[in-house]
Amino acid sequence: MPRQPRLDAPGVLQHVMARGIGRREIFKDNKVRKSFVARLGDILTETKTQSFAWVLIPNHLLLRTGSTPLSRVMKCLLTGHAVYFNKRHQRSGHLFQN
């Protein structure tokens, strides 16, 4: 069964969860965590998105965003993180669940 379409309403606060496939860790070490936080900061600045709260958990991320379309923010953030993570940990394939 296909997933429900995501709501993408600019300006509305949204609770976002990005979980690793099979609930695997998406932040295995401090270097990966620091890279993710730096990428998050860059993307929020570029897209003029406000983050009201965020937390890194070993197998997912919780984030609330503001006015920029959420799909744009998350695509940039998660694609970049997956490429970095896979390269650093010598793996390939998807990192995040749908």
**Confidence bin at 55 (pLDDT 50/70/90):** confident
**pLDDT over threshold 80, residue 13:** no
- Which residues make Cβ contacts (< 8 Å) with residue 15, sequence separation at least 6? 62, 63, 64
pLDDT over 70 at 31, yes or no: yes
**Whole-number Å distance between alpha carbons of 73 and 43:** 7
Question: Given a cut of 90, is residue 14 above it in pLDDT?
Answer: no
Of 81, 86, 82, 93, which Cα lies nearest the Cα of 34? 81
pLDDT of the residue at 62:
66
- Residue position matching structure tokens 């295995």: 28
Q: Is 36 left (phi over 0), alpha (psi -120 to 50) or beta?
A: alpha
87-97 pLDDT tens trace = 999 999 999 88
pTM beyond 0.75, yes or no: no
Class of domain 14-88: alpha beta
The angle at the Cα of 9, spanning 16 to 37, to the nearest 5 degrees, equals: 35
Question: Are 65 and 50 a contacting pair, CB within 8 Å?
Answer: yes
Is 56's pLDDT higher than 90? Answer: no
Higher pLDDT, 70 or 66: 70
| Domains of the chain by residue range | 14-88
Q: Which residue has the higher pLDDT, 16 or 42?
A: 42
Strand, coil or helix: 35:
helix
